[in-house]
A and B are shown apart, each in its own frame.
Chain A
Amino acid sequence: MMPEWVEAAVVLENGFIREWKAAGKKVVGYTCSYLPDEVFHAAGILPFRLRGYGTEECSIGDTYFGPFICSLPKCMLQLAGEGRLRFLDGAIITPGCDSMRRLDECWRKAGDDHEGIVPGFFFHFGVPHKFSDYTVHWFIDEIRRLIAAVEAHFGVAVTDEGLRESIRIYNRGRALLQQFDRFRTAPNPPITGAEALAVILAGTAMARDAYNSCLEAFLDKLTDHRTETQTDRIRLMLVGSANDDVELVRVIEGNRALVVADNLCFSARFHLDPVAEDGNLVEALARHYLQKNECPRMYGQYRQRLDLLRAKIRSARVDGVVLQNIRFCDLHGAENGLFERALEAEGTPCLRLEREYGPLVEKGRLKIRVDAFLERIAQKHGAAA
């Protein structure tokens, strides 16, 4: 059922990217969902969400990063060090979190030892940790600084018309993804959580125009698709640290559960409400990206994020919430602790999981915990019946 283009979810330098590069066009990688993709789209550059997916070991990552660090940027560095990111013409490092922002110097220093692994355009892009009038102003200036640097380095012009068109195209994508979400959360979803993640991930690794067409066609297909009943599966929501590994969701789902909703930055956080298409466009982007991204890096917003989870639990009829974090991810890890207390008190079963980012070698350990969690939910349903 899954279309071919979804291979972009699991293949690093996928077909779209190869074609794009063959046409002489540029690709810029970015580490964090706070970067306004539209800026690059308007510049005719493909914005590529950097991942660490596909590493088999992490010796290069471990050489430069110290031991007590999240494995996600380490795996990104590993890929870079192995030369597997040479298709990038640029990289944007963002302080999504401290571990991630240290990818800046680790990558550059690794570049001293491994030739040619640092892309020509290497940019540190600041993002505030709160939303207010003056942080938006600072962020607007920062986006303008990025635009100026892109224009200078790549010899392109980012015009207002270009930006408006890009925002419109990305908004179309957001609307399609929200439509897609409605399939995911239906009483009898035609698609598993793992498949859904693959579809969404593909959008981070290919041109948005092409993605929109592909997704639109896929949604048409889904409308007519008849699937065996999934209504007896336990409905889960997946929350926490970044995950771009479809296999992790598959392990969680097994044959007894479905991840029908999430609050992950490679997934649902990526396509919330549209960006304003009129007025000051850079300001519109700044407001949207700073306000709509529900990440614990935005300190002091726990209550808002909890409300968001509650709303999703209701609308998607979620039976249980899996709160996972990558080891050393204190932002998600700690907030998961707060979520667990609040949601359990309201009667929503929660499972906290800590994992490593990278090759999924701990399936047994994860399954033990997930299976026990699903048994607990099933018992609860049985008792209620």
Chain B
Amino acid sequence: MIVAGCDVGSLTSKAVVMRDGRIIGRAVIKSKAKPWESAESVMQMALAPAGLGLNDVCYCVGTGYGRDKIPFVHETVSEIGCHGKGARWLVPSVRTVIDIGGQDCKAMRLDKDGNIEKFIANDKCASGTGRFLEVMAKALGVGLGELGDLSARAKHPVTLANACTVWAQADVIRHLHDGVPVEDIVAGINNAMAARTATLVRNIGAEPDVCMTGGVAKNGGVLASLERLLSLRLKRIRREDPQITGAIGAALFAAEHANGGHR
């Protein structure tokens, strides 16, 4: 039986197709203005390599900000629930999941069965989200994917304002003009991001094992900084792109509910 999960976020949309508990298709695209267009595009992209179409999908669960606007889903589940589910599948020992998405940052604790025990989400601010990194990377003229490697080479990380993306950006530009090495600035950016995240995580209490999902999980600099602040090792997600964790969780829910486990 083929099931699918579709995660329509504010910045990116993801889709995962599974058969018999294995992923047979996956895709990530930049979200379009209309969530249903994003959903259709990303789902087609995920299905195509396996030679499948939407009609082949028995059950589909939608999640993310645009979840209520996806016409072809059978049900919706919160992205918090989906990230928890997906993370547990990717890292079976995980108890705490940190998801830094495009526009918010969430931390959740799972019980031994993988249910959400407690969660917290950041509020009201871009700093501490993927958007912060995007803005900073642009100011520095580097790619988002380079931020991790650059910060690893830093010798004297700068301290950045982490309360406001706008002010932090002004500081980044100033440091550039002053000739501060890009590596040091990037390290400062990653540290600021990690600091905001650490506060959130400590609010719910991190229980090992801890992992990070979402696009920012690919930034080794943020991970390393977060590990230092929390004084624990983060489990890296290696099986799949961490950015599709929510979609994986949605697909897993689809598999469960298609078999009559529907709530």
Contact = CB atoms under 8 A, between A and B. Distances in A.
Contacts of B118: 344
Interface residues of B, number: 18
B10 to A, nearest CB: 9
B28 to A, nearest CB: 20
B119 interface: yes
A357 B115 CA distance: 32
B37 to A, nearest CB: 17
Contacts of B184: none
Residue of A356, A365, A376, A380 with most chain B CB atoms under a 10 A cut-off: A376
A372 interface: yes
Interface string A367-385: 0110111011011100100
A21 to B, nearest CB: 39
A373 B115 CA distance: 12
Residue of B78, B81, B115, B116 with most chain A CB atoms under a 10 A cut-off: B78
A376 B121 CA distance: 15
A238 B30 CA distance: 37
A352 B119 contact: no
Tier of interface size on chain A: 10 to 19
B223 interface: no
Contacts of A352: 120
A364 interface: yes
A371 B76 CA distance: 10
A290 B77 CA distance: 45
B124 A372 contact: no
Given A344-B118, A364-B65, A365-B104, A375 B78 contact: yes
Report whether over half of chain A's contact residues are helix, strand or loop; otherwise say mixed.
helix
A288 interface: no
B263 interface: yes
B124 A368 contact: no
B76 to A, nearest CB: 8
A372 B80 contact: yes
Contact of B77 (A327, A375, A383): A375
A364 B79 CA distance: 12
A354 interface: yes
Residue of B77, B81, B121 with most chain A CB atoms under a 10 A cut-off: B121
A379 B79 contact: no
A378 to B, nearest CB: 7
Interface of A: 327, 344, 352, 354, 356, 364-365, 368-369, 371-373, 375-376, 378-380, 383
A-B pairs with the 6 shortest C-beta distances? A372-B80, A372-B78, A371-B78, A354-B123, A379-B115, A376-B116
Given A368-B79, A375-B77, A375-B80, 8 more contacts: A344-B118, A354-B123, A365-B104, A372-B116, A376-B116, A376-B119, A378-B263, A383-B115
